[in-house]
Chain A
């Protein structure tokens, strides 16, 4: 259980840095800004919907910018977690004590996930609370809203675990900080351009093969990125919790594989595979 000590040290070191406080403040402002703006600018028509629906709209309004922000923050905070200490030599210090290398990787993941989770959850509670209060009526006390908001916070913790795991994995795979930066940036850029890449791919395939009849398999390709897979699972889970009609992408497609469960499996693979490769590389490496 030595990873607990590593995680605690990593977390303690982080919260003593200015970087952490800058992160917490930006996170708080962003969350309060977005939540508050939604609550403040929602017009009368939108306000007239039932309280639970207004509240759920708020959660989804906050979701997209916050998740993208978390993705960036995770990259910044995690890409050097292993390779940076490797280059500086402080990894030798940590591993001169009786910690295993898996203790170090797991400890880093848990520690850095904590570093992001604490300001993330704090800020979201404030932001959603403020937004719901501004929406007025009974939104803040609507059971549906509270359930969806709680579900969303749990989902955000999963999302943080996802990206911290990916970027710590990248950090353990690479042998230099600059490669870790390149790898992390490449993954983020790929996600932003994924739908465009798929569209181009689709056009190319369409002009070559006769596939016009059925393109359901595109669903699987779309789900390959961690963000799309996460959103699919989140939408499916939240719509299962409420009467709100947020069907997941899979809902429109009639194929066995078009299921949020497939997206869930892809999500788990993203949490496990990069870090597993990182562990495999790091475990037997010369420091």
Chain B
């Protein structure tokens, strides 16, 4: 059974397209990384899953339940760490976890949960006095309260120090071992790389890649960056190169062309440059996963 099934999902906010024909399936038990720059549509997707926002077209199902018609059942099985959640209230950390447990109609010991997220010593302090990182930990505690079947984490490492980020990864791994499906959104590749089985890369409301981390590495290995420095860049050259098969991106830095392309296409690109003008220098390098992510999300792909 799929934990999340998104079919042809679109969302318009006025004239702005936040999501366009998104298709995505996350299997039960999977740790899925949802990557993309800010504004790519990650939070909109999560908002639709939680029925905060109505889709313009398409459908989404969580554990085979429609996210609009059966939203309460969906949220009963889902732990959420929302992004930009605002103030929490004036109760203590313990009361907050109790509130989450009560809402999910679940048993559980608030102290144990606070201990897992590393703020048990602040359990009886009011959350107004918490630091940003402590609030984020408390939110994670509220998310894992009641042992949800699906954990939705929207930019979970925002505001966490390296220790906190490591603890976050450990908790995600522990939850995944318990069989929980994790949907982890982030704009930082390395956060996702460390914990996720598969990632989807979202850019400008479109899903531009879905693959395992290893699969993405292979793709990255087969492509590279080619820097061609020229005396001047002739008109029309960029367009010619962009139209070649295997070229994913073309950028201009001064009089240097930076071309992201499959290794096999490099020769043809260099030949194009020789034909069009005076080439002063050529450098080539293999793309890292980071480069690949950048090439997917810089809008040139």
Contacts and interface: CB of A to CB of B under 8 A. Distances in A.
Interface of A: 2, 5, 9, 12-13, 16-17, 85, 88-93, 95-100, 284, 286-287
B251 interface: no
B53 interface: yes
B19 to A, nearest CB: 13
A270 to B, nearest CB: 30
Nearest to A97: B103
B90 A13 contact: yes
A88 B91 contact: no
A157 to B, nearest CB: 25
Contacts, number: 78
A98 B53 contact: no
A97 B88 CA distance: 13
Contact of B50 (A88, A89, A95): A95
Contact of B86 (A2, A5, A16, A93): A93
A20 B62 CA distance: 41
Contacts of B72: 98, 100
B279 to A, nearest CB: 53
A91 B82 CA distance: 10
A88 B86 contact: yes
22 contacts: A9-B91, A12-B91, A13-B89, A13-B90, A16-B126, A92-B52, A92-B82, A92-B85, A93-B88, A95-B50, A96-B52, A96-B78, A96-B80, A97-B80, A97-B99, A98-B73, A98-B75, A98-B76, A99-B103, A100-B71, A100-B72, A286-B47
B103 A5 contact: yes
Interface of B: 13, 47, 50-54, 71-73, 75-76, 78, 80, 82, 84-91, 95, 99-100, 102-105, 126, 139, 142
A85 B52 CA distance: 14
A97 B89 CA distance: 15
A281 to B, nearest CB: 13
B66 to A, nearest CB: 15
A89 B84 CA distance: 6
A264 to B, nearest CB: 36
A286 B90 contact: no
Contacts of B105: 98
A90 B91 contact: no
A93 B90 contact: no
Contact of A12 (B13, B53, B90, B103): B90
Contacts of A286: 13, 47, 52-54
B50 A16 contact: no
Contact of B104 (A12, A17, A93, A97): A97
B82 A93 contact: yes
B42 to A, nearest CB: 14
B65 to A, nearest CB: 12
A16 B85 CA distance: 20
A286 B53 CA distance: 4
B54 A284 contact: yes
A119 B85 CA distance: 31
Contacts of B88: 90, 93
A96 B152 CA distance: 10
Contacts of B104: 97-98
A93 B80 CA distance: 8
Contacts of B84: 89, 92
Nearest to A17: B90
A16 B17 CA distance: 42
Nearest to B68: A284
Contacts of A96: 50, 52, 75, 78, 80, 82
A97 to B, nearest CB: 4
Most chain B beta-carbon contacts within 10 A, residue among A13, A89, A93: A93
Given A5-B99, A286-B53, A97 B75 contact: yes
A85 B71 CA distance: 20
Contacts of A9: 89, 91, 99
B142 to A, nearest CB: 8
Name which of A98, A99, A286 has the most chain B CB atoms within 10 A of its CB: A98
Given A12-B90, A12-B95, A89 B85 contact: yes
Given A88-B86, A99-B103, 16 more contacts: A5-B99, A5-B102, A12-B90, A12-B91, A16-B126, A89-B85, A91-B86, A92-B50, A92-B82, A93-B139, A95-B51, A96-B52, A97-B80, A97-B100, A284-B54, A287-B53
Contact of A93 (B73, B85, B91, B95): B85
